[in-house]
């Protein structure tokens, strides 16, 4: 994705400027042409020579010294950029970009470029949270800038709060997302569930299942990379996917509530989660002691989320089966009023729970069946979104 892409990397005066060196190095190693632009304040934190050495290119520091091949620096760099990334972005550059100021090289490039701009803020938490900075960020978002939100953590000023520049991986993900040529899900809002639910027996035990959440997370990442606005409702908290809303839930009833709260404004719901069909009728307040020789736990049915939710969105389900795969899946497609179902034989080696690959047959409401070979879950995810992109009822 990054090979031969021209990335204008704008570095501004924050202590996080040192992280920009790692970012520049990562992008260069991935094959990108990184054109670094440093503000005067940035040069107080890190010297241009560092960036020049890492990117093997000259670093632009002011309006008045032309670079080789670039006659008018700000215009040429603005035109050459496939994407501009401001990382770290101070409150000052955010304010300047929000109001179209062009009083130095970097702000002039941002004003002059037609390329997408990614902004990774880094500053003191009070500066970040101040209403004026938040208004400026909202202005940028409204104009299509991509904001890679800062993280909560220990800040250079010794405070703990939101303001630490996002992880380099998160910034690189955002760049890949922007450069992805096929942004056919842009403007679509999707809600995806992932993982197996946990139904509490007592404070330490639950009834669960073998779902790893990998399929749901792959769906969420693929949709994000194709430009969709993604809400991921997941029982899995190990990896925190970037550039999407993640809602963490545990039980079937929490998942139902989270789906209800988000799906009404969605274009697509994909239920990739393995939702418990039964839960303990009561949850014991204290840990159950092993007094009894036989322990009976009474179970009651949970609500079927797909059957419960109503609305004008595409409904996509998964059918995890161990027998009569296609017949069971076809029945679920009809019973749950789905637009598409991914029939998933979980008995095949390398398919289903826990693996990185999956073997599914997609069955659509009009009876078409697509028997896909065993492939990485990310590729299965893209097949699902290919179908969605071709079959979406309403555009955003
Ligand atoms: N599903 C749901 N709510 C439930 C159970 C399942 O929304 N309480 C969704 C799953 O996320 C999946 C689809 O329904 O997309 C099919 O789930 P599956 O477990 O295969 O089927 P069930 O409907 O539970 O039927 P059975 O367990 O009898 O096979």
Per-residue model confidence (pLDDT) at position 227: 83
Contacts of 267 (CB under 8 A, 6+ apart): 188, 189, 190, 313, 314, 392, 393, 394, 396
CA distance 317 to 275: 11
User: 337 φ, ψ to 5°?
Assistant: 50, 50
In the prediction, which pLDDT does 394 show? 44
- Ligand 1 atom with the shortest distance to the CA of 318: 15
Q: Which of 158-167, 171-180, 192-201, 247-256 has the lowest mean pLDDT?
A: 171-180
pLDDT of 7 reads: 97
Q: Which atom of ligand 1 is found nearest the CA of 336?
A: 14
Is residue 157 flagged as an active site residue?
Answer: yes
Residue among 233, 229, 199, 231 nearest 213 (CA): 233
Cβ atoms of 313 and 337 closer than 8 Å: no
Distance in angstroms (rounded) separating the CA atoms of residues 321 and 329: 8
Reduced to 3 states (helix: H, G, I; strand: E, B; else coil), residue 318 is: strand
> pLDDT, tens digit, for every residue of 367-394?
999 999 998 898 899 899 999 998 974 4
Beta-carbon neighbour count of residue 361 at 10 Å? 17
Residue with tokens 């042409």: 33
Q: Return the residue whose CA atom lies nearest to atom 27 of ligand 1.
A: 277
Cα–Cα distance measured from residue 150 to residue 1, given in angstroms and rounded to the nearest whole number: 24
The pair phi, psi for residue 11, each rounded to 5°, is: -115, 130
195: region left, alpha or beta (phi > 0 left; psi from -120 to 50 alpha): left
Which of 271, 299, 310, 345 to mutate for ligand 1's pocket (most ligand atoms within 8 Å of CB)?
271
Ligand 1 test: best mutation among 192, 306, 316, 360, most atoms within 8 Å of CB?
Answer: 306
Atom of ligand 1 nearest to the CA of 328: 29
Q: Residue 395's pLDDT is what?
A: 41
State the distance from the centre of ligand 1 to the C-alpha of 322, rounded, in angstroms. Answer: 14
Specify the pLDDT at position 114. Answer: 83
Q: Choose which residue among 234, 254, 328, 332 to substitute to test ligand 1 binding: the one with the highest number of ligand atoms within 8 A of its C-beta.
A: 332
- Is the entire prediction scored with pTM above 0.85? no
From CA 165, how far away is CA 187, in angstroms rounded? 26
Task: Please provide residue 245's backbone torsions phi and psi, each rounded to the nearest 5 degrees.
Answer: -85, 130
State residue 1's pLDDT score.
75
pLDDT bucket at 67, cuts 50 / 70 / 90: low
Question: Which of ligand 1's atoms lies nearest the C-alpha of 321?
Answer: 20
Q: Distance between terminal CA atoms of the chain?
A: 27
Q: Is the pLDDT of residue 87 over 50?
A: yes
C-alpha to C-alpha distances, 114 to 1, 144, 341, nearest whole angstrom = 20, 11, 40
Average pLDDT over residues 67-87: 83
| Cα 188–chain centre separation | 14
Among residues 72, 152, 156, 157, the one annotated as catalytic is 157
């Amino acid at each position: 994705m990054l090979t031969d892409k021209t990335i204008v990397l704008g570095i501004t005066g924050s202590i996080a400027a040192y992280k920009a060196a790692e970012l520049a190095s990562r992008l260069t190693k991935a094959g990108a042409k990184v054109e670094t632009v440093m503000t005067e304040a940035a040069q107080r934190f890190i010297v241009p020579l560092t960036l020049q050495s890492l990117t093997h290119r000259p670093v632009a520091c002011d309006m008045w010294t032309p670079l080789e091949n670039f006659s008018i620096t700000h215009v040429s760099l603005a035109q050459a950029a496939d994407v501009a990334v401001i990382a770290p972005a101070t409150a000052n550059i955010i304010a300047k970009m929000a109001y179209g100021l062009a009083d130095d090289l970097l702000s002039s490039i941002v004003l002059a470029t037609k390329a997408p701009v990614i902004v990774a803020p880094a500053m003191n938490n009070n500066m970040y949270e101040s209403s004026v900075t938040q208004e400026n960020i909202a202005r940028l978002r409204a104009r299509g800038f991509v904001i890679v939100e800062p993280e909560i953590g220990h800040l250079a000023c010794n405070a703990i709060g939101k303001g630490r520049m996002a992880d380099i991986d998160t910034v690189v993900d955002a760049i890949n997302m922007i450069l992805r040529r096929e942004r056919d899900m842009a403007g679509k809002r999707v809600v995806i569930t992932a993982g197996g639910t946990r139904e509490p027996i007592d404070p330490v035990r639950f009834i669960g299942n073998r779902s790893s959440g990998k399929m749901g997370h792959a769906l969420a990442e693929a949709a994000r990379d194709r430009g969709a606005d993604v809400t991921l409702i997941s029982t899995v908290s190990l990896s925190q996917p970037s550039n999407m809303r993640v809602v963490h839930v545990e039980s079937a009833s929490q998942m139902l509530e989270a789906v209800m709260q988000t799906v009404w404004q969605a274009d697509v719901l994909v239920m990739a989660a393995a939702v418990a069909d039964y839960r303990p009728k009561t949850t014991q307040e204290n840990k159950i002691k092993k007094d009894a020789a036989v322990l009976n736990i009474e179970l009651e049915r949970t609500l079927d989320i797909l059957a419960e939710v109503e609305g004008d969105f595409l409904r996509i389900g998964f059918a995890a089966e161990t027998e009569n795969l296609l017949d069971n899946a076809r029945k679920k497609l009809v019973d749950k009023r789905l637009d598409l179902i991914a029939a998933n034989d979980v008995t095949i080696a390398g398919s289903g729970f826990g693996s990185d690959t999956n073997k599914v047959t997609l069955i659509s409401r009009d009876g078409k069946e697509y028997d896909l070979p065993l492939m990485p879950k990310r590729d299965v995810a893209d097949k699902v979104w290919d179908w969605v992109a071709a079959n979406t009822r309403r555009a955003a």
